[in-house]
């Protein structure tokens, strides 16, 4: 009957993935069947931690995060947890031998979100690494399925892709982060006076991350390549839309990609994949 518990726990991670990110869930469906469950297990874990620091304002968030961190390591060590999200995550960590230092870096960034409101360059880079780049590296462990030589070769572009996604999220969510929680992730930015020059500087940095990431996507194993490329195109399209807007428009609302546009991205990506152009 333990198999039933495994499957039920993994289904919880899949539900969390679908509910919190329809775009990411859609991209996961483009992965080979073998990779979908472990990637959802990673996303479910990441999403739960992010909810603690971003949403549970009426509770003791520091205590909740500390407990969640302790329970995470206990689950990994024991090989079981009664928290279904942590149970499915530990199964993926142990199956793919994901480096625990990546998990530790992730928790450090979540802890930063509890207190830090402004970031200098060093703090920003540390936060980006722990909140996004390591998530890309956890996924890369799954994609490479034990091939450590390939993992090492793709480590840098995987970090760039995670960084690009997170920085686009920051631009998309300026209104919620700044107005809702007084957070400013981008160093040296004053969102009370967000200029075109500020925006262009941020966008140039993000564009460089996207460029660095693309070379790695083309070298991914076939089982992972198409799904990761779709996620890349989703975020690149969102970035291009944000890039076309004036700074005040970005500050006013959360920018989205319409569903019909997402569908077209999948179709075009599918054609490129069939023609082996990815």
CA distance 21 to 150: 28
Q: Per-residue pLDDT tens for 142-188?
A: 999 999 999 999 999 999 999 999 999 999 988 888 877 788 899 98
The domain made up of 2-274 has a fold known as: Farnesyl Diphosphate Synthase (1.10.600)
Q: How many CA atoms does the CB half-sphere of 78 hold within 13 Å?
A: 13
pTM for the whole thing?
A: 0.93
Predicted local distance difference test score (pLDDT) of residue 275 = 61
Query: Using only C-alpha atoms, what is the Rg of the chain?
Result: 18
- Write the DSSP assignment of 190-224 as a string of letters: -GGG--HHHHHHHHHHHHHHHHHHHHHHTTS-HHH
Predicted local distance difference test score (pLDDT) of residue 271 = 74
- Quote the Cα angle for 234-240-246, to 5°: 135
CA distance 257 to 3: 38
Consecutive 10-residue runs of the chain (278 residues): their mean pLDDT? Answer: 94 95 89 97 97 95 98 98 98 98 98 91 96 98 97 98 96 83 87 90 97 96 95 95 91 82 82 72
CA distance 246 to 249: 5
CA distance 202 to 204: 6
């Amino acid at each position: 009957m333990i198999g039933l518990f495994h499957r039920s726990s993994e289904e919880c991670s899949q539900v969390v993935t679908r509910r919190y990110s329809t775009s990411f869930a859609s991209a996961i469906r483009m992965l080979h069947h073998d990779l979908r469950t472990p990637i959802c297990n990673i996303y479910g874990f990441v999403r739960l931690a992010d909810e603690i620091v971003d949403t549970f304002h009426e509770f003791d968030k520091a205590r909740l995060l500390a407990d969640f961190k302790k329970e995470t390591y206990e689950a990994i060590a024991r090989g079981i947890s009664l928290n279904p999200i942590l149970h499915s995550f530990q199964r993926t960590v142990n199956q793919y031998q994901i480096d625990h230092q990546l998990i530790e870096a992730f928790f450090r960034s979540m802890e930063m979100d509890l207190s830090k409101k402004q970031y200098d360059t060093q703090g920003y880079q540390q936060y980006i690494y722990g909140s996004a780049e390591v998530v890309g590296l956890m996924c890369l462990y799954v994609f490479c399925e034990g091939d450590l030589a390939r993992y090492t070769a793709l480590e840098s572009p995987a970090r760039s892709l995670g960084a690009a996604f997170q920085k686009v999220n920051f631009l998309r969510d300026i209104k919620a982060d700044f107005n809702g929680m007084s957070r400013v992730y981008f160093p040296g930015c004053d969102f009370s006076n967000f200029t075109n020059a500020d925006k262009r500087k941020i966008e140039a940095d993000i564009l460089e991350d996207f460029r660095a990431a693309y070379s790695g996507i083309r070298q991914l194993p076939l089982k992972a390549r198409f799904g990761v490329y779709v996620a890349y195109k989703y975020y690149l399209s969102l970035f291009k839309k944000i890039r076309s807007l004036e700074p005040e428009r970005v500050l006013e609302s959360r920018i989205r990609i319409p569903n019909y546009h997402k569908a077209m991205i999948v179709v075009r990506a599918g054609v490129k994949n069939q023609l082996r152009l990815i």
